[in-house]
């Protein structure tokens, strides 16, 4: 449904209509100039050749230092999505299953199914503040379970997982010998502290990205942190599929890390302000929602809502959102991505608020 | 073995030794400045966002015009390697088989095996000028054959396939309902006309790249030409694995196409001169080889040679080549990639010639 909405957006824009786009998680901010210049300098220096399938040594070392792991455990990938697919490709055989708390990013689902794996969704709900129940999760595990996917902070709820819950899930996974893939692409810019799965122990896989943290979505660069055995397998898979992430893009990423504190602070503040504004503007409507603890989504609910129909109706009023059905069994929800410029965010939220007053 | 050689090269270089690198197919030429500038301009214009998994409309349209196919049949990929892997991922089930004339690029082999497919090699030899025997190829086909991979011109022999042979293979494939994947990444810069598989009829897949044609190996951009059904499946796979090739890289590729004639002529001439020089310098040695019909390889033979041992010995003399065993059952062969600067090519060839006098 996400694709259908986006196609209609593109069509309406071509017809000259102005659409406020809350439907995609693609930041409106521009990639900082320092990063762009670093890529250009690298190109001019001839960093346009084949390179290591693991990622450049220097970038891996800086990332290793940030995360307190050996550089051998870092693999640079063309986006976090590739890292997620690669892990599934390596761990899942046809007939295996993967457990995913829902609502969830649809790419997990599609990748697992493409590989012939069964997806077992564990539903969470607004009423219990999107809390994952570790006992219910354990009940889904059987001999064919190869992977649990956590998305912390979560897309579409912008909820940070309770640390006790994560502890319990890790304990269960370690006991049962199941790997966890922890997708933490929103963690660096989250509004409240988000403890990485790295800090919980056990040999699991952490997925990170430059996309959201540095407004670099279209650069396609992310990385996996994994034990050496899995890291080496991802590197081997990179060798036969992609060769390497362009070195000039890795140089740009290295520059992003140099300005890390400054950029993160700026981006986090932008989204925090928007989240505050959204909560305020939607507070006197019939919508129920949890306050975002991270960028950049709200996932409000109205009992009885047909979110697909609502999304198409709202599009006629010039605002695009994603229906809840794009994230699992959430027909009464829709996702607002606060990734439009500030003035548009205000106008768009007003239109949504009016629809639910 | 390719990786082992390359690792030793890197180690020796770190120790301060000068190595002439004939071991990799990575052109020494720099990416033309116009192309680099186009990427920079695109970045500054904000072309750093998520984009179509099919590739940018304009780039697809220009490529479609060049090849005389509808734009819907073009899918832009992060390198031709990804396009090859994607096709195999989509067509091969565990237990299926793929037929590959040998000597061959090892990535075909590794990708097929990674997917659980059987690889059936069809050996060709220097003595019969690397000609593929279509009758022998047909004999390898059975009910589990899903793909035939042709590499035209060939790496490592730099041989262009005989048109009558290709015709026969296409006729067989069409009759048997087997797809052909034609990897034509050296075709645009080949020294003699290389007829594309597109011109033979039947619904097959053509793989192209910007890497060799425009000295853009590390930019990671190539494309597949396929019927709409397969093209759409590759696009769907891109959506769940990679999202898109960075748009600024696609803009750079578009600029490359604008200067196509000029760049191709320049690059082809460089390699033609080197190939002529190599043939001349190796003509009075004990080595047997066919004259390259395309960039950038020679694949000479000496009866009784242990090419792996030879490659390591030669490395001690400062020249890196790839042993024949990296391309199939070719222990008596080695591959020279003429991808070093002209003066190094001359010195390196002299050292090789001396070893075989």
Residue B87 to residue B207: CA distance in whole angstroms: 10
Residue A253 to residue B245: CA distance in whole angstroms: 16
Pick among 1.10.10.10, 3.90.1150.10, 3.40.50.970, 3.40.1790.10: CATH of A2-31+261-355: 3.90.1150.10
* pLDDT recorded at residue B1: 80
**Contact (CB<8Å) A44/B36:** yes
- Compare CB distances from A111 to B31, B217, B240 and report the shortest one's residue: B240
Q: Give residue-wise pLDDT tens across range A186-228.
A: 999 999 999 999 999 899 999 999 999 999 999 999 999 999 9
Mean pLDDT across A268-295: 97
Provide long-range contacts, Cβ within 8 A and 24+ apart, for B166-169: B166/B195, B166/B197, B166/B200, B167/B200, B168/B134, B169/B132, B169/B134, B169/B137
Note the helical H segments in A259-319: 260-282, 307-316
Domain ranges of chain A: 2-31+261-355, 33-258
Do the domains spanning A2-31+261-355 and A33-258 agree at the CATH topology level?
no
Residue B223 to residue B246: CA distance in whole angstroms: 14
Q: Return mean pLDDT, chain B.
A: 96
Contact B183, B205 (CB under 8 A): no
Q: Which residue has the higher pLDDT, B6 or A316?
A: A316
Contact A93, A73 (CB under 8 A): no
Q: What angle do CA A254, A258, A260 make, to 5 degrees?
A: 105
Task: Kindly identify which residue of chain B lies nearest to residue A218, measuring between CA atoms.
Answer: B49
* pLDDT recorded at residue A1: 80
C-alpha distance from B352 to closest chain A C-alpha (Å): 25
Q: Which residues of A touch B (CB under 8 A)?
A: 24, 26, 30-31, 36, 39-40, 43-44, 46-51, 78-79, 81-82, 85, 94, 107, 110-111, 114, 215-220, 237, 239-249
C-alpha distance from B46 to closest chain A C-alpha (Å): 6
- Substitution target in A11, A43, A215, A250 with the highest count of B β-carbons within 10 Å is A43
Task: Kindly identify which residue of chain B lies nearest to residue A29, measuring between CA atoms.
Answer: B46
Q: Return mean pLDDT, chain A.
A: 96
Share of chain A above pLDDT 70, in %: 100
Which CATH number is B37-258 given?
3.40.640.10
SS3 (DSSP) at A297? strand
| pLDDT higher than 90, residue B14 | no
Contact A54, A60 (CB under 8 A): yes
Task: Examine the predicted complex and report whether its ipTM is higher than 0.85.
Answer: yes
Helix axes B342-355, B307-316, angle to 10 degrees: 120
Going by the DSSP 8-state scheme, the letter that residue A93 receives in this structure is P
- Compare CB distances from A50 to B26, B48, B246 and report the shortest one's residue: B26
* Count of Cβ atoms closer than 10 Å to residue B289 Cβ: 20
Q: Give residue-wise pLDDT tens across range A4-31.
A: 888 889 889 989 999 999 999 889 999 9
Rounded-to-10 torsion of CA A240, A244, A245, A249: -160
Note the helical H segments in B68-183: 80-91, 106-114, 134-140, 163-176
Pick among 3.30.260.10, 3.30.70.20, 3.40.640.10, 3.30.70.260: CATH of A33-258: 3.40.640.10
Chain A environment of B244 (Cβ under 8 Å) = 218, 220
**Contact (CB<8Å) A215/B30:** no
* pLDDT recorded at residue A4: 84
Confidence of residue B306 (pLDDT cuts 50, 70, 90): very high
* pLDDT recorded at residue A275: 97
- Substitution target in A89, A90, A94, A218 with the highest count of B β-carbons within 10 Å is A218
The model carries a pTM of 0.97
Mean pLDDT across B33-61: 97
**Contact (CB<8Å) A48/B31:** yes
**Contact (CB<8Å) B43/A36:** yes
| pLDDT higher than 90, residue B7 | no
**Contact (CB<8Å) A217/B48:** yes
Contact A285, A349 (CB under 8 A): no
Share of chain A above pLDDT 90, in %: 94
């Amino acid at each position: 449904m996400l694709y259908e909405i986006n196609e209609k957006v593109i069509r309406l824009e071509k017809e000259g209509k102005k659409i406020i786009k809350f439907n995609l998680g693609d930041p409106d901010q521009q990639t900082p100039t320092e990063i762009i210049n670093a890529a250009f300098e690298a190109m001019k220096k001839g960093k346009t050749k084949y390179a290591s399938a693991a990622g450049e040594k220097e970038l891996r070392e800086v990332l290793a230092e940030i995360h307190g792991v050996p550089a051998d455990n870092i693999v640079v990938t063309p986006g976090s999505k590739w890292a997620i697919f690669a892990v599934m490709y390596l761990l899942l055989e046809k007939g295996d299953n993967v457990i995913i708390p829902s609502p969830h990013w649809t790419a997990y689902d599609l990748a697992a199914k493409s590989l012939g794996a069964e997806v077992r969704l564990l539903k969470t709900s607004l009423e219990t503040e999107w809390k994952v129940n570790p006992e219910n999760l354990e009940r889904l595990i059987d001999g064919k379970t190869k992977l649990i996917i956590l998305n912390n902070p979560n897309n579409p709820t912008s909820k940070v997982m309770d640390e006790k819950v994560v502890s319990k899930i890790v304990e269960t996974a370690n006991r049962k010998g199941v790997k966890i893939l922890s997708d933490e692409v929103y963690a660096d810019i989250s509004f409240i502290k988000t403890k990485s799965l790295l800090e919980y122990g056990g040999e699991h896989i952490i997925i990170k990205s430059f996309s959201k943290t540095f407004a670099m979505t279209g650069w396609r660069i992310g990385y996996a942190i994994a034990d050496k055995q899995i890291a080496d397998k991802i590197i081997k898979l990179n060798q036969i599929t992609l060769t390497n992430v362009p070195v000039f893009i890795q140089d740009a990423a290295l520059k992003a890390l140099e300005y890390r504190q400054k950029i993160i602070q700026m981006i986090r503040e932008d989204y925090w302000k928007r989240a505050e504004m959204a909560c305020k503007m939607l507070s006197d409507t019939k919508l129920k929602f949890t306050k975002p603890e991270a960028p950049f989504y709200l996932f409000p609910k109205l009992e009885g809502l047909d979110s697909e129909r609502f999304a198409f109706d709202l599009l006629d009023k010039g605002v695009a959102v994603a229906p809840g059905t794009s994230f699992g069994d959430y027909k009464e929800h829709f996702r607002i991505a606060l990734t439009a410029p500030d003035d548009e965010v205000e106008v768009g939220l007003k239109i949504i608020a009016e629809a639910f007053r």
